[in-house]
Amino acid sequence: MILSCCAWVLSGPEEQNLAQLAGLGFGHIDVRPQALRSPQARQRLAELGLGVPCVGIAFPEVPLDSADEAEAARAFSQLAEGLRHARDLGAHTAYVVPGMDDSRAALACYARGMERLAEAAAGLGMRLGVEHFPGRCLPSGAATLDFLEGIGHPNLYLLVDLGHAQISGEDPADLIRRAGSRLGYVHLDDNDGRQDLHLGLLDGVLTENVLRRTFAALGEVGYQGPLSLELHPQLPDPLDALRRSREVVLRLV
């Protein structure tokens, strides 16, 4: 098992953040496309031996669901550049978050854009994931899987987020089993069941039993990819929450 963490949990200087995450015992980190752009940061990454398995390329959000062809083309160009940066970092997975417009027309535009982006990712040797996101046009894991299956592209995968599943009232183990070979990545976080708080594991409504069943389901579907802790940088003590969450995963897995 590879246990990664989303590096945006820390908000200090980039080289310092890398050293702190490595100091907690992480050998892998996930980043956003603005990260690791400077030679100094890339050198520090190499010195610490940190790998980057995944990049969230849709930060800031881009209007891939726009009906305006020029705007959609600019959005695709930005996302494609994020894919190239992810490839240069050695990532095997990139993912996007869905837009806000859940109209049929917007979803059709988004589907066309995602199919094109999935093809671009395949050309770079990478998987493309979509994260189900409450409050957006694909608010649940089930809706996101329906959307991906409707497109039918072989390089489109679901990113399962445990905290988001709690908000949408879905059992993450059931979601993982339904995704099967379309499971592309996993985010681990906790919340109060209503707000997307990105708390440390077991600091909200998440239980050990749910985590155990989630990890068992990952084994059932043969998932071999990383698990990534995604915590909020505004927690009272993000480093401590990350440390405790890492210990929970290592203990239960």
Between 48-62, 162-176, 186-200, the lowest mean confidence (pLDDT) is in: 48-62
Phi, psi of 198 (to 5 degrees): 50, 55
| Domain range annotation of the chain | 3-252
Going by the DSSP 8-state scheme, the letter that residue 38 receives in this structure is: S
For every residue of 56-118, DSSP letters joined together read E--SS---TT-S-HHHHHHHHHHHHHHHHHHHHTT-SEEEE---S--SHHHHHHHHHHHHHHH
Its pTM stands at: 0.96
Q: Classify 3-252 by CATH class.
A: alpha beta
Query: What are the pLDDT digits (tens) for 217-228?
Result: 999 999 999 999
Per-residue confidence (pLDDT) for residue 110, from 0 to 100? 95
The angle formed by the CA atoms of residues 135, 155 and 33, to the nearest 5 degrees, is 60
pLDDT of 63 over the 90 cut: no
Summarize the confidence of residues 40-55 as an average pLDDT. 98
Which two tokens mark 128?
Answer: 């493309």
pLDDT of 60 over the 70 cut: no
Query: What are the pLDDT digits (tens) for 85-134?
Result: 999 999 999 999 999 999 999 999 999 999 999 999 999 999 999 999 99
Summarize the confidence of residues 37-58 as an average pLDDT. 97
